[in-house]
Amino acid sequence: MTREEFVEQFGGVFEHSPWIAERAWDHDRIDDPLTSVGVHEAMCAEFRTASRKARTEVLRAHPDLAGRLALANQLTASSRAEQAGAGLDRLTPEELERFTELNQRYMEKFGFPFIIAVRGHDKTSILEAFEERVTHSEDDEFDVACGQVERIAGFRIADMIKGDAA
């Protein structure tokens, strides 16, 4: 696999942040580009060693859950599938109103959208996590959000590699 092929395949797993795949390749962190663990570990290492400003930009690249991009059908294919898998594309008007309110409060407090790896969650558990995490300190929530971004990337990488093997 060439650098260009690697970035083409994995450049989107950290939402709109191909620089992470580029740096993972350039720093020769990839032991085997055909194993999800190796790719995930290499990309997370690059994400973790990036400046706080760069990591914040990765967080800001994520869409609001059940937010305006979802309503306008402007999510990436991965985000759309992930949110639909958790039932966020089938919210009642009351649930949508609650998500909108929490999205606004969260964004005002932290400066980036609420991020959760929705796999294994439903809208109820996501709302519970949302309501709890909006009370976090800025530093604590930054760490939690970064961990969730890494978890999302892990799921995406595993799905890509499993899909290529099929």
- Whole-angstrom distance, CA of residue 5 vs CA of residue 101: 41
CB-count exposure of residue 165 (10 Å: 0-12, 13-18, 19+): exposed
Residue extents of the structural domains in the chain = 63-148
The answer to whether residue 35 scores a pLDDT higher than 80 is no
Q: What's residue 137's pLDDT?
A: 98
Write the DSSP assignment of 94-108 as a string of letters.
Answer: HHHHHHHHHHHHHHH
Average pLDDT, the chain: 87
The set of catalytic residues is 62
Q: What is the dihedral of CA 89, 94, 96, 100, to 10 degrees?
A: -170
Condensed to tens digits (0 to 9), the pLDDT of residues 100-124 reads 899 999 999 999 999 999 898 988 9
Q: Are 76 and 88 in contact (CB under 8 A)?
A: no
The answer to whether residue 166 scores a pLDDT higher than 50 is no
Which amino acid does the sequence have at 157? I
The CATH class of 63-148 is mainly alpha
